[in-house]
């Protein structure tokens, strides 16, 4: 596996919020010169960063001018002209210098993709994408890593129609240790926040107790899943393994119905059909009583990554736990500890 140096002082943007007035001109000039040298080194390798900003300047010790440029996800190779003496090859056989080559996600990120295609994604692909993301997040947690910056802008794909999803931008991730009792390893609160592009500063409001209204056209099993992740009680939230198994069952049940006409009596199939009928009726009557099926971004939405330090979340509201309990009573057959081995045996 690749092991990268941990920048314990974080990024320059967050550092300047606290220390802006405490940096003398000697250090300012030294940092500027150091950054110019690193950028020059990058350009000499025929690379353009294309995402250079204070959030991507990291350091283990800003007082010592130990700066590193990070996040080359948008960088590009600008070519090596053999007739240009100032250009150098990406691989130097004498110095054995390499550059990191990453797969190009030509479909971009999920946030931008949803702005155009939100209404064109069927439930088979939705469930497959959710299951695929749960698997990748489970793999990350099994390495004792917490991403800490998981949102649609950091979900990339070369082909969203093929569910080829990649989780990117680990600049704020951290190692949480190998303690099996570590609650952070099981905490997937953020996974339960679906995209609400119309609500500004959503993350902060969630941490302060807001629970956005889940649209009526969402299948109840998915609604119950989301509410479980929103539970302020850490021990009541599912683990990624439970999430993975549950989503696998939903996806396989619906896959066989969608592609082969089987599993018509599956609970997730019944609920999705009802949800689609409800959405169709809403569109035909042109009512506005429910959340519309669009993906319009609020002009005050914040897309700058930042760490939110909340040691304790507000307690659940009474109606939240009541709603969660009612949803659990409606479907006792869908426990989150379903085994993958039993998913296919239930096909009809």
Angstrom distance (rounded) from CA 200 to CA 202: 5
For residue 233 the two structure tokens come to 């009680």
Choose one of 71, 102, 133: the last residue of a domain.
102
Query: Does residue 124 share a domain with residue 257?
Result: yes
Query: Does residue 125 share a domain with residue 81?
Result: no
Query: Does residue 56 share a domain with residue 121?
Result: no
The CA-atom distances, in angstroms, between 120 and each of 192, 290, 294 are: 22, 19, 11
Give the confidence band of 10 by pLDDT, cuts at 50, 70, 90: confident
Backbone region of residue 177 per phi and psi (left: phi > 0; alpha: psi in -120 to 50; beta: other values):
left
- Output DSSP code: residue 62: G
Q: What is the pLDDT of residue 192?
A: 45
Q: What is the pLDDT of residue 308?
A: 64
pLDDT higher than threshold 60 for residue 298: no
Condensed to tens digits (0 to 9), the pLDDT of residues 130-159 reads 999 999 988 888 888 888 888 888 899 988
**Which residues constitute the domain of residue 298?**
110-346
pLDDT higher than threshold 70 for residue 247: yes
| 195 touches 295 (CB < 8 A) | yes
Query: Does residue 133 share a domain with residue 79?
Result: no
Q: Extract long-range pairs of 292-295: CB within 8 Å, 24+ residues apart.
A: 293/118, 293/119, 293/217, 294/118, 294/119, 295/114, 295/115, 295/118, 295/195, 295/197
In the chain, the percentage of residues whose pLDDT exceeds 90 is 15
Query: Does residue 132 share a domain with residue 88?
Result: no
For residue 293 the two structure tokens come to 């099926």
Query: Does residue 261 share a domain with residue 129?
Result: yes
pTM of the model: 0.59
Q: Give the list of residues 6+ apart from residue 326 with CB closer than 8 angstroms, or none.
A: none
Choose one of 47, 67, 102: the last residue of a domain.
102
The total of structural domains in the chain comes to 2
Q: What is the pLDDT of residue 104?
A: 77
């Amino acid at each position: 596996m690749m092991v990268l140096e941990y920048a314990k002082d974080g990024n320059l943007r967050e550092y300047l919020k606290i220390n802006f007035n405490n940096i003398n001109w000697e250090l300012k000039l030294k940092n500027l010169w150091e950054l110019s040298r690193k950028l020059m080194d990058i350009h000499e390798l025929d690379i353009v960063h294309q995402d250079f900003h204070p959030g991507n300047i990291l350091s283990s010790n800003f007082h010592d001018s130990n700066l590193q440029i990070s996040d080359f996800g948008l960088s590009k190779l600008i070519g090596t002209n053999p007739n240009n003496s100032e250009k150098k090859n990406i691989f130097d056989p004498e110095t054995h210098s390499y550059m990191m080559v990453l797969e190009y996600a030509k479909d971009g990120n999920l946030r931008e993709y949803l702005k155009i295609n939100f209404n064109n994604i069927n439930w088979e692909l939705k469930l497959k994408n959710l299951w695929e993301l749960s698997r990748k997040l489970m793999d990350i947690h099994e390495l004792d890593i917490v991403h800490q910056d998981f949102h649609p802008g950091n979900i990339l794909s070369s082909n969203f129609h093929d569910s080829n999803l990649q989780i990117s931008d680990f600049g704020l991730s951290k190692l949480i240790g190998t303690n099996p009792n570590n609650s952070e390893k099981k905490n997937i609160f953020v996974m339960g926040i679906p995209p609400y592009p119309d609500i500004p500063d959503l993350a902060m409001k969630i941490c302060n107790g807001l629970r956005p209204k889940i649209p009526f056209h969402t299948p109840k099993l998915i609604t119950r899943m989301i509410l479980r992740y929103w539970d302020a009680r850490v021990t009541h939230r599912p683990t990624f393994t439970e999430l993975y198994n549950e989503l696998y069952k939903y996806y396989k049940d619906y896959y066989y119905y969608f592609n082969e006409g089987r599993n018509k009596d599956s609970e997730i199939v019944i609920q999705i059909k009802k949800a689609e009928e409800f959405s169709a009726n809403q569109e035909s009557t042109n009512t506005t009583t429910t959340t519309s099926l669009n993906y319009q971004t609020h002009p005050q939405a914040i897309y700058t990554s930042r760490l939110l330090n909340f040691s304790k979340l507000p307690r659940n509201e009474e109606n939240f736990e009541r709603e969660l309990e009612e949803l659990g009573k409606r479907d006792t057959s869908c426990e989150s500890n379903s085994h993958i081995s039993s998913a296919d045996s239930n096909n009809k």
